[in-house]
Structure 1
């Protein structure tokens, strides 16, 4: 009996209702179906009184989800997809994102396309696109205080108010550099269209094996985005006396104190996205972000002499 999973955003009633409908459809077709919510992939935040909130990366897989699962349908917006990616990546389960949110940059189809999407899934008529992830860990001396898989970005900044921070950052074996900024972002190519884009970083195609470092509002004209091979791990030492807060993918984080260090590297796990048509990154940029739209003054023809 083939096996499938469903992960849905339980905050949105429509996602819960569609999850029940998909489960019934797959079960009637002879599939074993396991249903869970995306809450397990949202790690939450450690508090000042309890800064250690360590959940191992492999400890987020929901019960019943395993390597024998052919696919998982994710119902929600980009936040649900980010949470689900942490839940299923260690098992290598391909996911199909169905947008019930707003932007839906990471999703593949809309609700009105659901019948055709499920038919393609059951027929195995799809492609798999792998996206690189980062493993983010906070160390105090040699102890791991916190860790998480990251599909988009890691952000380190001061709270509660934005103000200048100082960081010592080492990339691979290169000499450490000093950066003064409101914060720093380390992102994957997938995350290059998220927070780092708003902070002035470049858009990077998903298949490029790089990471990027983007200072947030740097206090120097020389501090700009840096793109480097993802074979190079990154170590961030906060120089500020007050504690900083680290946020991963916008829905998980922890406090980072002066005696801590943040270690970021490409993860051994990746997200496998189900594509119902051949992946076309520029089309998504155009549809979601308006990149490369025809200019209103573009000439319709060129007369040659």
Structure 2
């Protein structure tokens, strides 16, 4: 599913900075030969932070950064001087990025809004200097704390495309053509399966200067939930969509069977996907006449509204937008 410009999955080894050691220092002045403790604290080690950036749409910039380290904290020194805080390392990622622990699979973070920040790996705390350990019975403590060690682990970053409408269908169903006609997006279009290998986003202009975002997602094949074809690497992109637009070609042998397969793959991957609003667009309908459309009606899925469209012939596209907008408002 990789392409030179779209990477939606990376695995990274992240290590925070270790904390600086506290200082064991005593005040030394010309007329005070036995000054008290004045050792400063160590500086905190740098965090590794994930930050959402709405200007990014791929993880390609992290693809070759397999090992990422934050800066260590500086050691404390005399005159109660605190060591330098380690510089945080910030990983800019697209909106919709999910971070998981690679070993356990546990979700660690998720960023959805521009500027959202989450600390993935905490930097070690700096140790306390000997100034903190002075007491009435021990006025010259030799003890100071070491800094906390760094924290390191492997993490997986997965991008889930953010869109209002996700196009769901078999390869070569006409999803890319539809997106190219109703928006300014220019997905690759050809008359063979799996032309689309990565998600494409397009902003669809609607009435009164309103708009919504549509995502053309690589086509489903039977068994996709088990990893066949492009498998779960594209199914996760559907999770973010507000509604699903099923696209099935009018020249398919059995629209109901094809729809059932699509729904079955979504259910196997994540049953919650079936809670989303659904709409069926029967594409390439310029290839059939009104009489054949009437004959098809009784055999169409009963649990989902449908509309006959043709992207090439510009047929019923405004009606399709109206139905989509109506569902989005619900």
- TM-score of the pair, normalised by structure 2: 0.24
* Structure with bigger gyration radius: 2
- TM-score of the pair, normalised by structure 1: 0.26
> Which structure dedicates a bigger proportion of its chain to strand?
1
